[in-house]
Structure 1
Amino acid sequence: MSAKVLKHAKIYTGDQVIEDGYIRFDKQVLAVGPVFEYKAEADDEIQNVQGTTIIPGFIDVHAHGGYGYDAMDGDPDQIDTMATKMMRNEGVTTLFATTMTQSNDNIAHAMKGVKAAAAKNPIIKGVHLEGPFISPVYKGAQPEQYIKDPNVKLLGEWNELSGGLVKLITYAPEDPGSAAFENYCIANGIVPSVGHSNATREQLLNSKATHVTHLYNAQREFKHRQPGVTGHAMLEDNMHAELICDGFHIVPDMIRLAFDQKGADRIELVTDSMRSKGMPEGESELGGQKVFVKDKQARLADGTLAGSVLQFIDAFKNIQSFTGCSMYEAVLMSSVNQAEEFHLDHKGILEVGRDADMNLIDQDMNLKATYSYGNENHPE
């Protein structure tokens, strides 16, 4: 079987930088290193990509929708199409389809839909349940009428309907029933993430949350007498912090503060995108609520931010622009950290035996091609 070879690119593998490199692959990486080490095989399909950079494919663990579709619609074909468009247009090669606070039946329907979509589309590697076990104080754009206390039985039912795809759950740890809920999550490989929460630092020190959903947004704020959710996430080394780097959810200075405090190995870029991403501006929908998209911002009628229309390639550019971090560090925050935290053992790093998931970008960091399991795709 022939293999593809990309030569003369600068390659960020996720653990090293190769200035003039090559990568040989089929569905998986077969070899990667400096060009002078390349030994041609008879059937190799060789492409000179000089002037470009190769980085691992992006991993988005928090994306509700885009391109007119939403995971909550529960339509397998639409979720499949949504994931494929995120891959082609943004470089996302691994996706956690994200739900929101809704009725039990609607969430159950979404779980079935994501399971069926994942059976067709291997990009979909998990579900992020955002709610409904959250605090009404920091509900953000989540509909309050469906908020409920943590419920192990419900979570178990939803996880079973998804085919065991629930990998991340956003909840409010201050609820008295959280301890048993957290234990269930950990026993079943689900990362507990504090978000949409009014928890104090003291409550969080007694919780088992190791992840924070969209740092700064929809959570008890960082204050001088109470660090809150944001302060706790900043202070604890075991906390992985999501950042929405669109410049609206968090101003660039506060992104830089988070980067300076947490470092590149504990931050994970996410889009938190909704169905209007990649669509014309105007009226849209989120969880049965009207959303208005204007100037690259999605807001409810009362002005509350309602997810984003951020594309992941732009988050990758923005984190470098906002913080001055290196591309090596941006790769950690867009791929490597997610793969490590969620035990995605074949993702995140370009090394022999891992999936050939990678992005080819030009000198302006524009996406030229995305390879998913070795298959070449281009922005639409």
Structure 2
Amino acid sequence: MSASEAVEKLLCGKVLTPQGLVENGVIAISGNTISYVGDRQHLPQAYIEWATVVDQPEGLLIPGFVDVHVHGGAGHDFMDSTRETLDAITQFHSSQGTTTMLATTMTAPKDDIDNVLREVDAYRSNNMPYAQLAGVHLEGPFISPQWPGAQNPQHIVLPNISWLDEWEKQYPGLIRQVTLAPEREGALEVISWLRDNGITAALGHTDATYEQVLAAVDAGLKQAVHAFNAMTPLHHRKPGVAGAVMEDSRIAAEIIADGIHVHPAVISILARLKTSANLLLITDAMSAAGLGDGEYTLGDQPVNVSAGIATLKNNKGALAGSTLTMIRGFQFLISKVGLSLQEASRAASLNPAISLGLEQQIGTLESGKQADILLLDDNLDLSSVWVQGRNIL
């Protein structure tokens, strides 16, 4: 089979590449892989004869979004993982531009976490029809009882290498990120273990001091979850966790760009400090994402959603995840924070891919990478989504 026969689709429009925007661009897709990205005038004529052409001259083609922190959506929660649940969550978020994601757990009893790992592992062993689950993000249970946020404090435990070692041996490579409080007893040893096993150690729900965070970074800590939320704040004499996250270039920062969790001016400050691969857009979405106001659960915590804002039912001041989607967060970074198209795309796609160690497969539109592609209109609204070359929207 010739190269031209192998090309099945040609997507034409403005193409966002790592080198910049190609105005008269084209992406050639062969199976689940990008085989060509560039200017249309350099595309071999034979490709056009064999391929299905999607021609949107005013459309914008960008890489699919990668969400490393998401709890659910469309009325479903990853803590209740079944095949039906995982299909529903990944189908909803793929319709919002997410092409790769981590199934994120809550602080819960070990048996409940065991079940999530078992179900996600089984799901990944078959063809995943929608957004691809790259693995699991354990948000807890190794967090601080002083900063539980929407996590159930009854299930908080000290960092435990034996649990992690058991899970890694049973499900090699499944756990991709663990959120913990670095000041807790045994945390530094766990962080070193995570580093040695290729798992992202992230701080969150933490009462740490600035100095304790730096010690954790020296041990292998790499990331901060939902920056500024559920952590000691910045003070000019006590920098706290927030100050360490802002100051230390070794820490990548997740941000919920919904205008509720963090003011856009503060996101703008963070973005100026977190250059290169250090700013990650996340949703922290819970089951209400994609649905209306009402009563829901986040893990085993009752949640009320009003005007799209999720709060604990028994503590109305505590935010309980979000109803954000990646496309809305991406738009917010551009329209409200002032990031460029390239900067927002990096935060939503490449940087989280780097966090997962998958930047050679996903995160940018380049030849040889997975054909995870979004088509946006001139308002930056989604028109089409391709996951591994399959058009799912």
TM-score by length of 2: 0.93
Partner of 2:368: 353
Q: Distance in 1 between matches of 2:267 and 2:230?
A: 16
Partner of 1:202: 211
Q: Is the 8 A contact 1:80 1:118 kept in 2?
A: no
Q: Is the 8 A contact 2:277 2:354 kept in 1?
A: no
Q: Is the 8 A contact 1:111 1:161 kept in 2?
A: no
* Distance of aligned partners of 1:237 and 1:34 in 2 relative to their CA distance in 1, 3 Å threshold: same
Partner of 1:22: 26
Q: Which amino acid aligns with 1:351?
A: E
Q: Is the 8 A contact 2:295 2:304 kept in 1?
A: yes
Partner of 2:106: 100
Q: Distance in 2 between matches of 1:330 and 1:5?
A: 25
Structure 1 residue 373 and structure 2 residue 382: aligned? no
Structure 1 residue 251 and structure 2 residue 258: aligned? no
Q: Distance in 2 between matches of 1:84 and 1:162?
A: 24
Q: Distance in 1 between matches of 2:101 and 2:301?
A: 24
Q: Distance in 2 between matches of 1:375 and 1:157?
A: 36
Q: Which amino acid aligns with 1:295?
A: A
Q: 190-199 or 11-20, which moves further after superposition? A: 11-20
Q: Distance in 1 between matches of 2:175 and 2:196?
A: 12
Partner of 1:13: 17
* Distance of aligned partners of 1:101 and 1:263 in 2 relative to their CA distance in 1, 3 Å threshold: same
Q: Which amino acid aligns with 1:82?
A: I
Q: Is the 8 A contact 1:103 1:146 kept in 2?
A: yes
Q: Distance in 2 between matches of 1:14 and 1:348?
A: 10
**Per-residue CA shift, 1:95-147, capped at 9, x if unaligned?**
11100100111111111111122223170111110000000111100000100
Structure 1 residue 342 and structure 2 residue 356: aligned? yes
Q: Distance in 1 between matches of 2:91 and 2:18?
A: 23
Partner of 1:152: 161
CA RMSD in angstroms, aligned pairs only: 1.3
Q: Give the count of matched residue pairs.
A: 376
Q: Which amino acid aligns with 1:305?
A: L
Partner of 1:330: 344
Q: Is the 8 A contact 1:221 1:228 kept in 2?
A: yes
Structure 1 residue 377, shift from structure 2 partner = 1.8
Q: Is the 8 A contact 1:264 1:333 kept in 2?
A: no
* Distance of aligned partners of 1:327 and 1:185 in 2 relative to their CA distance in 1, 3 Å threshold: same
Q: What runs of 5+ residues in structure 2 fail to find an aligned partner? A: 1-5
* 1:173 counterpart SS class: coil
The correspondence of residues 74-223 of structure 1 with structure 2, limited to 5 A, is: 74-88=81-95, 90-120=96-126, 121=128, 123-207=132-216, 208-223=220-235
Structure 1 residue 15, shift from structure 2 partner = 4.1
TM-score by length of 1: 0.96
The correspondence of residues 290-309 of structure 1 with structure 2, limited to 5 A, is: 290-301=302-313, 302-303=315-316, 304-309=318-323
* Distance of aligned partners of 1:316 and 1:264 in 2 relative to their CA distance in 1, 3 Å threshold: farther
Q: Which amino acid aligns with 1:11?
A: V
Structure 1 residue 171, shift from structure 2 partner = 0.2
Q: Distance in 2 between matches of 1:76 and 1:227?
A: 44
Structure 1 residue 54 and structure 2 residue 61: aligned? yes
Structure 1 residue 264, shift from structure 2 partner = 5.6
Q: What runs of 5+ residues in structure 1 fail to find an aligned partner? A: none
Structure 1 residue 188, shift from structure 2 partner = 1.2
Q: Distance in 2 between matches of 1:264 and 1:316?
A: 17
Q: 257-266 or 106-115, which moves further after superposition? A: 257-266
* 1:335 counterpart SS class: helix
Structure 1 residue 224 and structure 2 residue 245: aligned? no
* Distance of aligned partners of 1:317 and 1:128 in 2 relative to their CA distance in 1, 3 Å threshold: same
Structure 1 residue 50, shift from structure 2 partner = 1.0
